[in-house]
Amino acid sequence: MGSARTVVVTGGSKGIGRAVCLAFADAETVIYFNYGSDEKGAEETSKLAADAGGKAFGIKADVSDPDAVADFFKQILDATGKIDVLVNNAGITKDGLLVRMKPEDWNDVLSVNLTGAFLCTKIAAKAMMKKRYGRIIMISSVVGVMGNPGQANYVAAKAGLIGFTKAVAKELASRNITANAIAPGYVDTEMTAAMTEKAKEAMIAQIPLGRGGTPEDIAGAAAFLASEKADYITGQVIHVNGGLYM
């Protein structure tokens, strides 16, 4: 059980989660991340972290499966004995208009984006309470605040994460554990790759800073929230969106 900082990131095999892992990659930190099925991406994240002088271990574990989550955290706690930082980043979309949305598309999106964060936070919180220290970060979304047509399931999950963050922040504050949400705007990743060029242009036209976000823009906010500079920040939603929503 070393004294290195233990950082856990869900969904670290690509996109924002990978950038978050890399933002934490240094000699004093050990990073554990999980992923859905993207083994190649996971290996790449570990390699990039090693190139940056850090250590990031990828473990395949579905965040919506309680047994898989329990096993994921058991491996981490057996190895390091603590969790300093948890970033609940894993997420999926299954878009569709409300009147056509299948109940399974609703359930799948809620299970991964919201229940997954609950399952991970519950276990991490126990370990953090023992050490009287913890930094919990949820990756929500600007649409959780603004709404978005065609994403009733995703918007409900992301808005739910904001309420969850506030409840966790109040419940755990006395143990020196903070919980905050980051609400990214439009970020160029595989998740948004399905958008047509026209839709992307229309989206960027609405962003005052005139560009989409990068995974690193979001990762920078996560690194800040986990740093001692943010020790007095809890229960907040940090918007990282180029001004799309103010």
Closest Cα partner for 181 from 199, 204, 158? 158
Give the C-alpha separation, 183 to 132, whole Å: 27
The DSSP line for 126-141 is: HHHHHHT-EEEEEE--
13 scored as a contact of ligand NAD (CB under 6 A) = yes
Q: Which stretch binds ligand NAD (CB under 6 A): 61-69, 172-180, 195-203, 231-239?
A: 61-69
123 scored as a contact of ligand NAD (CB under 6 A) = no
Q: Which stretch binds ligand NAD (CB under 6 A): 32-40, 97-105, 164-172, 201-209?
A: 32-40
CB 159 within 8 A of CB 191: no
Structure tokens at 106: 């609703």
Site for ligand NAD in 151-190 (CB under 6 A): 184, 186-187, 189-190
Give the C-alpha separation, 53 to 121, whole Å: 28
Size of the site for ligand NAD (CB under 6 A): 29
Q: Which stretch binds ligand NAD (CB under 6 A): 11-19, 72-80, 98-106, 199-207?
A: 11-19
Cα of 135 vs its chain's centroid, Å: 12
Whether 245 sits among the annotated catalytic residues: the reply is no
62 scored as a contact of ligand NAD (CB under 6 A) = yes
16 scored as a contact of ligand NAD (CB under 6 A) = yes
Identified catalytic residue from 32, 35, 133, 154: 154
